[in-house]
Structure 1
Amino acid sequence: MIHSCEEDVIIVKLEDGEDVHSSLIEVSKKYGVKNGWVLGGVGILREFTLGYFTGKEYIKKYFEKPHELLSLSGSITIGAEVPIHLHCSVSNDQFDAFGGHLFKGTVNVLNEILIKKFMTIELGRRLNPKTGYFELDIKA
């Protein structure tokens, strides 16, 4: 992993074989990001799991082969129940694009990711009993 920070923006290059979620947690801790947002990411993923939330549960699907990472975004709430919450779009070798909640993923070759560190905004996750979902909790 290679990274650099300028004020409240962090650029990260993840390398082949690195785990997306644990790498983002690591770089967030290094730069003191308690709350932030993954503004974007591109690259290639392999051995990743996507999910679709039905309103009651996730339907999960595992993909072993490499797919182009077209977009990556989500929240960073270090210390919360769900510290990294990501969604992504990918495409396969037939140029079919699809996406969902990224539960886990391994970098294939590289990922390039941009993070925005929130300086005063505080975020968390709170279980909503109606949805059964850990929802974003924005603290004023």
Structure 2
Amino acid sequence: MQSKEGNLIAAKFVEGQAIKNIEKLAEKHGIQSAVIVSGIGMLKDAVIGYFNGKEYVREKLKEPAELVSMQ
């Protein structure tokens, strides 16, 4: 994991690192709360969800998927 500190922290996670490493990054920089502005990458064994107007529907992705934008 690489990071740069300031008002904005940019981080790059290498393949095989779980998103939970964001918690380690926050701890390293003493962050209590934050907003993820954007992200790209790949998802493996992911569960995605959406609200259909009545409830949240969750679907497990059967194959790896490209994450082209996250905001």
- Fold match (TM-score > 0.5): yes
Q: Over aligned residues, Cα RMSD in angstroms?
A: 1.6
Q: Find the aligned partners of 2:53 and 2:22 in 1 and give their Cα distance.
A: 27
Unaligned stretches of 5+ in structure 2?
none
State TM-score, norm by structure 1: 0.46
- Name the one with the larger strand percent: 1
Q: What residue is the counterpart of 1:40 in the other structure?
A: 38
The offset of 1:16, in angstroms, is: 1.6
* TM value normalised by structure 2: 0.82
SS in 2 for 1:36: coil
Partner of 1:58: 56
Gaps of 5+ in 1: 74-140
Deviation at 1:39, TM superposition (A): 0.8
2:7 is the alignment partner of 1:8: yes
% identity of equivalent residues? 30
Q: 1:51 to 1:30 in 2, by over 3 A?
A: same
Partners of 1:70 and 1:3 in 2: CA distance:
20
Shift of 1:72: 1.5
After TM superposition, where is structure 1 displaced by more than 6 Å over at least 4 residues in a row? Answer: none
Residue number among 23, 26, 32 corresponding to 2:24 in the alignment = 26
Report how many residues are paired. 71
In structure 2, the residue corresponding to 1:29 is in which secondary structure? helix
| Aligned AA (2:9) | I
* Paired position in structure 2 for 1:71: 69
1:56, 1:30 → 2: CA distance? Answer: 39
